[in-house]
Chain A
Amino acid sequence: MPLVRVEVRNVYGLGKTELHRDVNREDPKAVLDGVAVSGLVGILRQLGDLTEFATEIFHGIQEEVILTSSRSNKLKMRLKQIEATVPSIQKAVLAQTNHIQFAYTGGLEWHPRIPNGQDYFVYDDLPQFIMAPYDDCRDPPRLHLLDKFDINGPGSCLKRYSDPTHFKRSSRASKLPEIKKKKSLPRSRDISRVASMANQSDRKTLTSLSFSGRTSSSKTASTMETESKSDLQDHRSFSFDSRSGGEKLKGVSTSSRFTPGPRTIASVLSESESEDENDDSPPSQGLTAGGSSCVSWHEKAEIVETNALKIETDEAPDVMDTNAELEEHGEVETVQDIKPRGMEMDSEDETASEEDDFVDALYTIDSESDNDQEVQKKISNEIIEEEFDNNVCEQETENVSSNFSLDHEAMCASASDLHLSSPLSKPDEMIHQDPWEALDISNSTPHSYSNGFSNPLYDTNGVQENQESEDESSCDNEEGPKLWTNGNLLGLKPSKPKTVEETIQEADAEPLREEANKAAFDWFTSSPQLDHMKISFSNSEALPSSKLKLKLPDEYTFSSFQLVPETVTAASLPDSDSDKDTFCRTSSYVSDNSDNHSVSISEQQSEEESGERKSQQDQLYDSFQSINAEAFSLSAPSSQLETSNANLAGKISYLQNPAEPLPPPLPPLQWMVSKVPSGRFEDNNKQSFKETLTNALEQRNTLTRALEKRSSLSTIKKEELNSGIAYAPKPDNNIRDNKKSHGNAKETEAEDFLHQIRTKQFTLRRVVTTKASSSEATMNNNFSVILEKANSIRQVSAFTF
């Protein structure tokens, strides 16, 4: 059923109909306008409903929000209190040296007291939209109509059937077979008591029917039929009312126990006894609470007389049919199933409870008449007679239950099986053992009890189900101790709590374990450390290293050092100084700085300072090398240069040592140039060094001569050309002559220079680093001169090539 939260009414329904109803029908426009206006009015009302709904919603939301905020604030306060107390405890705990004592403390005592602040199933706390269907539902049944049959007066039935404790008591009574066993014997004594008991809560129709059938022999079958109908209908009504109450356990239990078993007044008496003992209440109250066990014989007449109850009559003929069948079966079974009672007195009570409930179900109406005492007496006599007949039937029913009571294990299994497999077989037995047969219902209708009492069949199942459930519970209880531990279920043995001794043993074992672990750990760490390992490697491939050896002079102060090439013929230099110093040369360092050094030797310096000769020679060598490098860098090496260089080298060598035979020709310039930048100094002979210098000079001379010749040739050609035209002006000739003379003068100077070079002897000496500024100045001047000359030579070479 969908819950309607809010209903939005129709627009035109909200609008007043008078607007378009009381209008002149002849004017359609007015009518239609009226309709439109009513629609607009309806819209306005809808908006009003909307606002109300909105206010309701937001009001509810606001309340909930306030509640949650208050709860959260309370939680905050509690948390703050806990935070205030925790630090002290923390200090105490941290101050502990040994925490084992906490294992033996009981800890906290937990008593949850969580209150349920909100219930959704309580009448007063339900929201309105849920309560609305309750309001719209039908009224409760009219139990006030039964008040006339109740001793307690008006309102008693409603009170009784709306009281949950009533059904609880009845359920307790049904679950106490032991008590009923004990009470089964003095049944006879209680008959009178039952007779005196006037009020019967429910399930009295059937018993009344039966009793009425037996007591009044004068009554005709028609009256019996009417009685049976009325009683059954009453019973049905009450039982259904009890079911509809929902809270009436008694009704449920009784409905479940509404079996046509051997329910007699005796069973009713036993039930009443048990109820009285359990309740310790006066008979009236017991009757009101557990009134199912009471019989009011005086009420039967009223039941027969009263036809005011609105009862369904469809089930009455079925009941009558079943009653007749039961009689037939009962007669046969009473002959066959006579058994000693002593063997089965115990089991009688088990079924007695069922029978009692069944009897209770019969007595559903309480009467208030006082004139039924005589009737009660007669009924009591008949009860005794019927008791014996019913006991036979009870025995048969008890046999079924006794089979369950023999073996608990089998019962547990069989109960489930019975419950599942044959739900109707036993009910059939129960049917055959119905108390109707003992009650001698004179109806001769065929047995159609099963059809009529579909609910009882289900109830019989319920009865046996209850028995089976009880048995199963007993089985479970027996098996309880085995299953209390989870270990068994999981196939593991439960772990016993460790005693103090065991803990001590474990404590002793712990250090041993730790040692073992440590030993293992030490073993693993016993490998030799890397410090002790010797890692050796050898360099199989010797790296190429220069052959230069660093030799430091004796007086060297580490301010600067110079690479000294290995000289084989160091001593062969005749022009060297007396000291046997090695030839030092600032080869790489100086060559990098002075790329433009020209080959030049200053005559004045060599004469003045012998110490400078080596430096000059070095400079010359560098300049020579630079010239060669420039020459080859500018153009491709030519064979002429090589030859010229070779010639120069030879001439230089000749100049230096004319007396001696000419040395072998020097290697080509390319080879010399390539070797010089690497820093390798392969000149072992100073003569070879000299030869290179001379070669450079000669090369320069040849180049200048070649230039002069070409210039002269060019001038002659021009003169010849110009002769035809005109004579060349004399100043040009003069200029040319002057040039020629100047060139000739240059040639003479070069020759002189060469001569000087040849004649002079170079002496090499140790390079001494002098910090004198004057020497440096002269050196600088020499460098400048050399640079100028080198530039000129470069220009010439560039012109030629």
Chain B
Amino acid sequence: MAKARGGITNAVNVGIAVQADWENREFISHISLNVRRLFEFLLQFESTTKSKLASLNEKLDLLEGRLEMLEVQVSTATVNPSLFAT
């Protein structure tokens, strides 16, 4: 009887342990899922910021080109004052 009772208790304990294990795994899965979501957020954030920075850099490139054009024009105008001789 004692063994039987011990076996029963063991089974019960195992059952309880298994149930607890299920709960623990569920808890862990929730946490890991949220951690993955954090990763995804970081990835998305990075992609958006880099895309915006890239567009900004493109605009800066255009501006640099135009500025360079203007600089050349200004330089030619200043270097050749005879152009403005009436």
Contacts and interface: CB of A to CB of B under 8 A. Distances in A.
Given A28-B18, A54-B42, A79-B67, A8 B35 contact: yes
Interface in A15-60: 28-29, 32-33, 35-36, 39-40, 42-43, 46-47, 50, 53-54, 57, 60
**Main SS class of interface, B:** helix
Given A29-B13, A35-B21, A64-B53, A112 B28 contact: no
Interface in B16-48: 16-18, 20-21, 24-25, 28, 31-32, 35-36, 38-39, 42-43, 45-46
Contacts of A86: 74
Contact of B71 (A46, A82, A89, A98): A82
A78 B60 contact: no
Contacts of B77: 89
A514 interface: no
A761 B37 CA distance: 124
Interface residues of A, number: 53
B65 interface: yes
Contact of A95 (B36, B67, B69, B86): B86
A68 B56 contact: yes
B8 interface: no
B53 A61 contact: yes
Given A5-B43, A95-B84, A61 B50 contact: yes
B39 A50 contact: yes
A8 B36 contact: yes
Contacts, number: 121
B25 to A, nearest CB: 7
Contact of B28 (A39, A78, A85): A39
A68 B57 contact: yes
A102 interface: yes
A93 interface: yes
A282 interface: no
Nearest to A45: B35
Interface string A88-105: 110011011110011001
Given A39-B24, A68-B60, A105-B83, A47 B35 contact: yes
A57 B42 contact: yes
Contact of A97 (B24, B46, B65, B86): B86
A104 to B, nearest CB: 10
A43 B32 contact: yes
Contact of B72 (A6, A64, A85, A108): A108
Contact of B39 (A6, A35, A98, A110): A6
A517 B17 CA distance: 105
A6 B43 contact: yes
A46 B35 contact: yes
Interface of A: 5-6, 8, 11, 28-29, 32-33, 35-36, 39-40, 42-43, 46-47, 50, 53-54, 57, 60-61, 64-65, 67-68, 71-72, 75, 78-79, 81-82, 85-86, 88-89, 92-93, 95-98, 101-102, 105, 107-110, 112-114
Cβ-closest 5 pairs across A and B: A36-B24, A32-B21, A29-B17, A92-B84, A39-B28
7 contacts: A28-B14, A36-B28, A39-B28, A61-B50, A71-B60, A107-B76, A112-B68
Interface of B: 13-14, 16-18, 20-21, 24-25, 28, 31-32, 35-36, 38-39, 42-43, 45-46, 49-50, 53, 56-57, 60, 63-65, 67-78, 80-81, 83-84, 86
